[in-house]
């Protein structure tokens, strides 16, 4: 027998525990009339836009994503794929998906956690402008803590039985919450490796070719060209710049992580590779040359040489320089194999906590 009196036993059903018919009716009415109350637009991309919304039954704010071109079947397939991939990656530093559904008008949408905070890009821009509050709040140690959480999230995605690579890691896609949360966002370009069930339908490879062959945009300092990092291919690995989607794997994300670390250390974005430049470096490697130093000087000029680092107004530990440059190697085989590899394990040092 339980030591609890019967009236207090948690296993004894209580007739009063049932929901009131009025409560059920009110809840059903709210859902029928439209579960979500749409608010202002808080994000916009090529395929979708994100609205702030209220989940009326739960009385909570959420982020609600809808398609910009809802009637396009290809966009619909990508949209559903993005929601499902993100929803399957349940990790503290990957944005949680709440629901994938169709509204009363037959349009797709999905909802996710609404993060109150700023992007890592905004933080870096404010640091480059030497905003006093941002400088006080985000020391190098704090930035590396953010970076470690991003690495953990990417390692989790790579560690699935069918590994997932993000393919669009950059400061703009990293949200930093008001209470220390770090969330990797926007998995729309993600690719599932070694999967027989889900074809690679993302637009990433085509977009990479388009980025690499058009325009003369050079990625300058955050402070001199605010927002220039948004969507730029400075964080894309050479194989992406060449439009070689078949060669993208976990090491493609590793390059992007190294590029993000470069931005954290220098407060400048890494330099973009054009398609022609990426193809030239590859051809020289295939011909037996070793253009490693030239490649480093091109994409990571402020870290490639000690004399260049001395131009920064803050010191950069050599260990961090080594990690960034190794991750940003032109050859995939030379990069770190994982965000949890020995090169990245330096970030677990108590000195950075």
168 is an active site residue? yes
Asked whether 122 and 173 are in contact (CB, 8 A), the reply is no
Query: What number of other Cβ atoms are within 10 A of residue 287's Cβ?
Result: 7
Question: Would you tell me the crossing angle of helices 120-128 and 250-266 to the nearest 10 degrees?
Answer: 30
Query: What number of other Cβ atoms are within 10 A of residue 120's Cβ?
Result: 25
> Which candidate, 172, 322, 325, 329, places its Cα nearest to that of 238?
329
Q: What's CA 81's distance to the chain center, in Å?
A: 16
Task: Tally the residues of the chain.
Answer: 353
> What is the Cα–Cα distance from 256 to 234, expressed in whole angstroms?
9
Asked whether 27 and 33 are in contact (CB, 8 A), the reply is no
Can you read off the two tokens belonging to residue 200?
A: 């690679």
Tell me the CA distances in angstroms from 182 to 63, 149, 170, 178, 275, one per residue in order: 16, 7, 13, 10, 32
DSSP 337: S
> Which candidate, 296, 289, 294, 220, places its Cα nearest to that of 258?
296
Q: Identify the active-site residue in 103, 131, 152, 168.
A: 168
User: Mind telling me the catalytic residues?
Assistant: 168
């Amino acid at each position: 027998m339980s030591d609890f009196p019967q009236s207090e036993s948690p296993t004894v059903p209580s007739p009063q525990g049932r929901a009131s018919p009025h409560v059920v009716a009110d809840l059903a009415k709210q859902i029928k009339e439209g579960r979500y109350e749409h608010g202002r637009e808080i994000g916009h991309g090529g395929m979708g836009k994100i609205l702030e919304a209220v989940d009326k039954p739960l009385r909570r704010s959420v982020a609600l994503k809808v398609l910009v071109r809802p009637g396009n079947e290809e966009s619909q397939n990508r949209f559903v794929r993005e929601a499902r991939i993100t929803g399957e990656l349940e990790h503290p530093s990957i944005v949680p998906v709440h629901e994938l559904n169709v509204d009363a008008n037959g349009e797709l949408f999905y909802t996710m956690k609404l993060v109150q905070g700023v992007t890592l890009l905004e933080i870096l821009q404010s640091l480059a402008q030497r905003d006093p509050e941002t400088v006080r709040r985000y020391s190098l140690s704090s930035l590396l803590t953010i970076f470690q959480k991003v690495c953990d999230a990417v390692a989790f995605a790579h560690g699935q039985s069918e590994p997932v690579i993000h393919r669009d890691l950059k400061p703009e896609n990293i949200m930093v919450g008001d209470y220390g949360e770090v969330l990797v966002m926007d998995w729309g370009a993600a690719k599932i490796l070694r999967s027989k069930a889900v074809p690679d339908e993302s637009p990433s490879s085509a977009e990479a070719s388009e980025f690499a062959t058009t325009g003369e945009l050079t990625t300058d300092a955050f402070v001199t060209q605010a927002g220039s990092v948004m969507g730029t291919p400075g964080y894309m690995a050479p194989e992406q710049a060449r439009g070689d989607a078949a060669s993208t794997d976990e090491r493609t994300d590793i390059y992007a992580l190294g590029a993000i670390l470069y931005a954290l250390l220098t407060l400048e974005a890494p330099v973009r590779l054009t398609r022609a430049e990426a193809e030239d470096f590859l051809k020289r490697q295939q011909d037996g040359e070793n253009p490693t130093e030239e490649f480093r000087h091109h994409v990571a000029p402020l870290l490639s040489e000690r004399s260049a680092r001395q131009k920064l107004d803050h010191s950069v530990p050599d260990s961090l320089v080594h990690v960034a440059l190794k991750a940003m190697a032109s050859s995939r085989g030379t990069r770190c194999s994982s965000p949890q590899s020995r090169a990245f394990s330096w970030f677990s040092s108590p000195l950075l906590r």
